[in-house]
Chain A
Amino acid sequence: MKAEDPRTELLVLLVVSGLTLLTQTMLQTSVLALFCCLYLVLHGLYKRALQMAAASLVLMYLLFFTGRWLPVLSVLYYVFLRLMPPVMVAAVVLSNAPSRLLCAFSRLHIPRTALLVGCVVIRFFPVLAAESKSIRGGMRARGIAGRIRDVLRHPIFAYECFLVPLMVRSLKLSSELSAAAFLRGAECERARSTTHAIGFGKADVAALLYLAAACACVLLLRTVAQI
């Protein structure tokens, strides 16, 4: 399933998101999560599949064994557990190179600016985590809000000390990314060529059949549960 078209992956993601809304019991959610985990494995993302499966199992354990004493947290665990299937499929979509995603989705006649926004949003989450970590490190080195106690004592000061470098860094990053995008011809009006193989093939048919099987299973379980 490696050479699947990103448009097919997007369709799978949208359908799985819809199915997530339809699932009513833990069994239905688990079956859907299992299908999505196998989807990750079929794409060769073994490490990610293992991580997601482990996270799902931990959430299930927390839900069943600690949720009884902490009902508030049980709701949170359950919400996260239900979000696991779309997150797993999203991981498959994100495993594509940004240029492949851009090229495939531009064939859907999505405006290039919107595509670029989507790509930057997807890619900026890990960057934000790394930036936050380095800012926190810098704050600790200067003795500002080094401990949680200090943050609780002066929350506004701590937030300001965190926010100012984050904003400055974000503005600089936006300028750098814009310059890089400009140099790569992101504002060019002509259709872009690509070295990635994009198009509907056997892998897409297999993915759609797999999706149909997942839908059938979940809907069958739902019907049985309603009876």
Chain B
Amino acid sequence: MPAKNGEVTNRIENADTETRSVAKGAERQSPARRWRMKDAITLAIFNVILLVILMVVTLVFGMLLPGISYMIAYGIAGILTGPVYMVMANRINKHGILLFTALIDGVFYAVMGMPHYLLFFAVGGACCELAMWGKDAYRSVPRNALGYALLYVFFFLSGVFPLILFRDSYLEAVGAMYAPEQIEAMLYYYGTPHIILISCLLAAAGAVLGVIIGGVFVKRHVKKAKLV
């Protein structure tokens, strides 16, 4: 009898372990973590808003403050788009938000005749996703600040990388698009190491500030209305 009892106990333990592993697997593939149609539509709608704000800010600052706009435009855009991003991140709360955001922006620029942006944005988006590793990272303000700051740094660097990697062909391609003085300004702002560093810091600071404001915005307006 004692031997039989031991066998039963072992069987129960085995069954328990099996159940736990099945439950773990199910949790890994649970629908709550998978992207659903609702998330995709939310991502699309909010990305249109993000894209429009980014375009308006870069255009307005490009007109009002030519030259220096290369340095500050992304920082300002980060502050203004931060609240929109935070609402989107809190609503979806799934891995891939930053990657898809970067890809949508990249496709938009590619369609507009700047296909090289797509590659840089894809790499940038993947790096941002690595920064957001872990559960519920998209609901945390510090983690979002880190990911979004990285995204904006990549947005700025997408203008710098082509100059570093294939300078001559890039200058030939953009040579037709810009006036000589504009190219001179671009080379100064995208080609001087300390200016690049300051611009990256400004872009990151703007994005961090935007996310912090966004956190307050979500708490004050969106969570109160029970929309997230």
Which A residues lie at the B interface, using CB under 8 A? 13, 17-18, 20-25, 71-76, 78-79, 82-83, 85-87, 90, 113-114, 116-118, 120-121, 124-125, 128, 159, 163-164, 166-168, 170-175, 177-178, 181-182, 186-187
Contacts and interface: CB of A to CB of B under 8 A. Distances in A.
Given A163-B83, A168-B227, A171-B227, A21 B114 contact: yes
A164 B45 CA distance: 15
Interface in B59-118: 59, 62-63, 66, 80, 83-84, 87, 91, 100, 104, 107, 110-115
Contacts of A181: 37, 41
A167 B221 contact: yes
A124 B48 contact: yes
Contacts of A78: 177-179
30 contacts: A17-B115, A21-B113, A24-B172, A71-B181, A72-B66, A73-B63, A75-B66, A75-B179, A76-B63, A85-B113, A87-B112, A117-B40, A117-B100, A117-B104, A120-B40, A120-B45, A120-B48, A121-B47, A124-B44, A124-B48, A168-B225, A171-B87, A171-B222, A171-B228, A174-B38, A178-B38, A178-B41, A182-B37, A182-B38, A187-B37
Interface of B: 35-38, 40-49, 52, 59, 62-63, 66, 80, 83-84, 87, 91, 100, 104, 107, 110-115, 172-173, 175-179, 181-182, 217, 221-222, 225, 227-228
Given A17-B111, A72-B63, A82-B113, A186 B37 contact: yes
> Dominant SS at the B interface?
helix
A75 B178 contact: yes
Given A117-B100, A120-B45, A128-B48, A167 B87 contact: yes
